[in-house]
A and B are shown apart, each in its own frame.
Chain A
Amino acid sequence: MKKMLPKIAASLAVCSILAGASVAADVIKIGVQAPITGSYASEGQSIDNGVKLIVEQYNAKGGILGKKIEVVTCDDQGTAQQAAICAKKLVNEGVKAVIGSYTSGATEAAQTTYFRAGVLQTSDGTSDSLIAHKYWTFFRNSFPNSAEADFTAKYFVDGKQYKKIVVLSDYSSYSTDLGDATIKALKAKNANIVYEGKIKSGTQNFTATLTKIKAMEPDVIYFSGYYTDGGLLRAQQQQLGIKADFVGGDSNDNPDFMKLAGESAKGTFMINVPTPDILPYDIAKTFLVDYKAKYNAMPASIWSLMNVDGLRAILHAMEQTKSEDTKVVAEAMHKLKDFPGITGPVTFREDGERIGGGYMTYEVQADKSYKIVYQ
């Protein structure tokens, strides 16, 4: 009898492991790696909310491949250090795919871990380095800086036919990257750039640079930096009586830009992907109604919807292939063509880049609302 006990114990243990395994196999786990706290908390929470809403809708219809979907969220606080910890945690949890993160830095820090574990990842980070590794697990659900630059060049040369263009950036890596890409795209179209310059972000006084620009009598001043400097640039441009149009890159698109620029905000042009409320697609309208009903708020920005599209593409590929093998799913995702997304058609290139752009130019109206003028 004494010999029996360990055997019983062992068989019980095996049973429980099997039971555990069978329970685990009944769900498909999806990870969310996003900044739930910290500077970008509103964006991170919005990503988490969007993912949970889609998962809820899937589960209400019986889940996917006959299994329920479970969401595991990890807060990376928008930092690389925390992102690396999250990556290990989510891999250990056995997730099939990870949605996020919001910032390029946090996404990059986790990328390799997911690649080694064969976990799919989709993020809205716009930095070009994210696709440099060509990991088969990575899918960018937003568009890179170079796509925005191409649109800007097309708008300036074909749309507006500007003759004298000024390009301003600040010293941040994002702004420099976007500014350089825009200059390159403009030069490829033989545009006449009269001045390429940099301002020092946060110095507030840009009158000296602008006075220098005034002498060149440009048609347009393009700024690739953030709204905190963009709003002031616009205000000071108006004060100095420089007649040129002012066009801001996507990071100028913020309510604070309007406050900083004051009356001179009117007539400013912004280049960005559409804001959630003006997305023309039916699928987007339904999603926003559902989102508002559940959370009583709008998503923080277009970026959360981009991430939701990443998730939807992954789930769609799983259903299509009837497989939860990430290798098979990734292959199907690379073959997706114009999958109807909330933020427009979704198509991925072989290196995980989302093809397309869907950029638009808005003109700020007197009441600070946007009017689409070019797309």
Chain B
Amino acid sequence: MDIFLQQMVNGLTIGSLYALVALGYTMVYGVMRLINFAHGDLVAFSAFVGLSVYGSLFSEGTTSLLAVVSVFLLSALVVAFVGVLLERLAYRPLRTAPRLSAVVSALGAGLVIQNSVMLIWGPNMKIFPTDFFPSTLWSVGGIVITFTQVMILSLSSVLMVGLYFFINQTKIGTAIRAVAIDQDAAKLMGINVNRIVMIIFIIGSALGAVAGLFIGAYYRGITFDMGWMYGLNAFVAAIMGGIGNIPGAMLGGLLLGLFNAMITGYISTQWAETFTFVLLIVILVFRPTGILGEKVAEKV
């Protein structure tokens, strides 16, 4: 039983990271019907920005609330800015172009970001400061949970719940939903579509940035090409939950993390990915729009 609960904790931690990244995919898709393939690389970029911010502002070995807050805020700011820039340069000129052109543009933008990271920080693995978060850990019964895991689980749930209320309760949230349903009609209602798209990219990229920093703090080793792996998993999570649907992305991410941990723990590492994709196929066969997906298939 202890082992099962420990696998739950492991799975939920990685699942929350997938969910944070998946939100970026799903929000952009919901509004623009575009798969932002550069999103995973923004996540990797964020980890490197965080590393540099920490390295330039604090001396090695600093563990303080100020360090954590400033690294998170500054990195999220930088990554959000790059996200907006990405939309301006790579997606806005193609908004009325055929969808395939936009997807190719997204893939290209991803390569540009990935290789820029490589040129700036080098091709070798970089090590995230090990004392960014305190190394405290708690054992409850037979389960061990670290401070970093608690941070990941709590901050990502706060962000996800916050986002849910932001989208459903605020004026801007209503505008976002309106643009997602019909851009032209939204424009006629006096909504500035470009501004909404910008907000989407700011939020999506900032959430990705948080995920990137958590990946750095939790796993320590960061490489310029790690965005691909996290991006792919998060993309699968977004599809599982129903792409375009915000609670769906959260659910998909958590489910994927849990599923992966259980398969690795009870069957084997070799089979983890196979089973993940079998699960995806099964979900899509029975619910083509994902678990919580709305009926948007005919619009695509």
Contact = CB atoms under 8 A, between A and B. Distances in A.
Nearest to A239: B146
Contact of A208 (B146, B220, B261): B261
B212 to A, nearest CB: 13
B135 interface: yes
A210 to B, nearest CB: 9
Contacts of B276: none
A215 interface: yes
Contacts, number: 77
B221 A228 contact: yes
Contacts of B144: 239-241
A40 B19 CA distance: 38
B127 A208 contact: no
A187 B6 CA distance: 31
B130 A263 contact: yes
A227 to B, nearest CB: 9
Interface string A306-337: 00000000000000000000000000000000
Interface string A219-256: 00000000010011001000111000000000000001
Interface in A171-211: 197-200, 202-205, 207-209, 211
B139 interface: yes
Given A198-B269, A241-B144, A207 B130 contact: no
B229 interface: yes
A214 interface: yes
A211 B10 contact: yes
- Residue among B219, B223, B269 having the largest count of chain A Cβ atoms under 10 Å: B269
A256 B11 CA distance: 27
A262 interface: yes
B159 interface: no
A231 B269 contact: no
Contact of B219 (A208, A209, A232): A232
Interface in B188-237: 215, 219-221, 223, 226, 229
Majority secondary structure of chain A interface residues (helix, strand, loop or mixed): helix
B139 A241 contact: yes
Contacts of A240: 6, 144
Contact of A205 (B10, B127, B130, B223): B10
A256 B3 contact: no
B261 A204 contact: no
Contacts of B272: 208
B125 interface: yes
B270 A259 contact: no
B7 interface: yes
Interface in B123-177: 125, 127, 130-131, 135, 137, 139, 144, 146
A231 B220 CA distance: 9
A228 to B, nearest CB: 6
Contact of B127 (A199, A211, A259): A259
A207 B14 CA distance: 10
A132 to B, nearest CB: 28
Interface of A: 197-200, 202-205, 207-209, 211-212, 214-215, 228, 231-232, 235, 239-241, 256, 259-260, 262-263
Interface of B: 3, 6-7, 10-11, 13-14, 125, 127, 130-131, 135, 137, 139, 144, 146, 215, 219-221, 223, 226, 229, 260-262, 264-266, 268-270, 272
17 contacts: A198-B269, A199-B269, A200-B269, A204-B226, A205-B219, A207-B13, A208-B7, A208-B10, A208-B261, A209-B264, A209-B269, A211-B7, A211-B265, A231-B220, A231-B221, A235-B130, A263-B135
The 5 closest A-B pairs by CB, nearest first: A262-B130, A208-B264, A207-B10, A259-B127, A204-B219
